[in-house]
């Protein structure tokens, strides 16, 4: 069980917990299916086997709930660490911008971003995307490097409210030839020809 430490407290790795939840939930379903197979049997061995399968399914459901509680706790801790790191990075950007004598608009033009995005980065209101970080690092007047960016900013965490969508890939679209629509008169004439 991979454990990491945050502020002196141990937490279980979120990816490990997700795999464990999936595995135990699958096992629970298998035990329930096996119990369902023996539910109709009236002999003592059949009832005992059904009871054993149901007990195993119940134990697995308890484990799944335990792992889910641990996952929620871990994700909330990661969100807290990410918000602290985001706040520190925003303050660093503001200090470097003021030291370089740049306004929000000037920095936005140099970085190729919107001035509201720069304002949100400095205020640490929202999650900073990797694209925004790269654009800020590309401004030579700030003197930022990837070493200044906390590793927590680059990690994904579904509990922080962001939408994790995979980028769309442009699928090749095939144009279907349009079917020639018959006029009302042609349709009427066709009916009468038969």
Domain ranges of the chain: 8-157
d(CA 153, CA 151): 5
CATH of 8-157, one of 3.30.830.10, 1.10.150.130, 1.10.260.40, 1.10.10.10: 1.10.260.40
Q: Give percent of the chain above pLDDT 70.
A: 77
pLDDT tens, 120-131? 888 887 778 888
Low-confidence stretches of the chain (pLDDT < 70) are: 1-9, 155-180, 182, 188, 190-194
Average pLDDT, the chain: 81
Check: CB of residue 97 under 8 Å from CB of residue 107: yes
Contact 87, 124 (CB under 8 A): yes
Exposed e or buried b per residue across 50-71, where buried means at least 16 C-beta atoms within 10 angstroms of its C-beta = beebbebbeebbebbeebbebb
User: Distance (Å, rounded) from C-alpha 184 to C-alpha 194?
Assistant: 16
């Amino acid at each position: 069980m991979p454990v990491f430490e945050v502020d002196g407290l141990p937490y279980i790795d979120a990816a490990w917990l997700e795999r464990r939840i999936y595995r135990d939930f699958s096992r629970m379903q298998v035990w329930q299916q096996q119990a369902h197979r023996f539910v109709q049997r009236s002999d003592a061995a059949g009832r005992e086997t059904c009871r054993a399968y149901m007990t195993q399914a119940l134990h697995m459901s308890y484990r799944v709930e335990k792992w889910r509680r641990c996952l929620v706790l871990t994700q909330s801790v990661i969100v807290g660490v990410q918000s602290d790191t985001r706040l520190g990075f925003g303050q660093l950007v503001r200090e470097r911008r003021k030291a370089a004598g740049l306004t929000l608009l000037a920095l936005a033009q140099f970085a190729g971003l919107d001035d509201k995005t720069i304002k949100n980065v400095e205020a640490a209101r929202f999650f900073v995307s990797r694209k925004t970080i790269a654009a800020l690092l590309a401004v030579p007047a700030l003197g930022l490097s990837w070493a200044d960016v906390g590793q927590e900013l680059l990690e994904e965490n579904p509990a922080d409210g962001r939408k994790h969508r995979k980028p769309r890939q442009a699928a090749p679209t095939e144009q279907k030839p349009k079917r020639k629509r018959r006029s009302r008169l042609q349709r009427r004439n066709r009916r009468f020809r038969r």
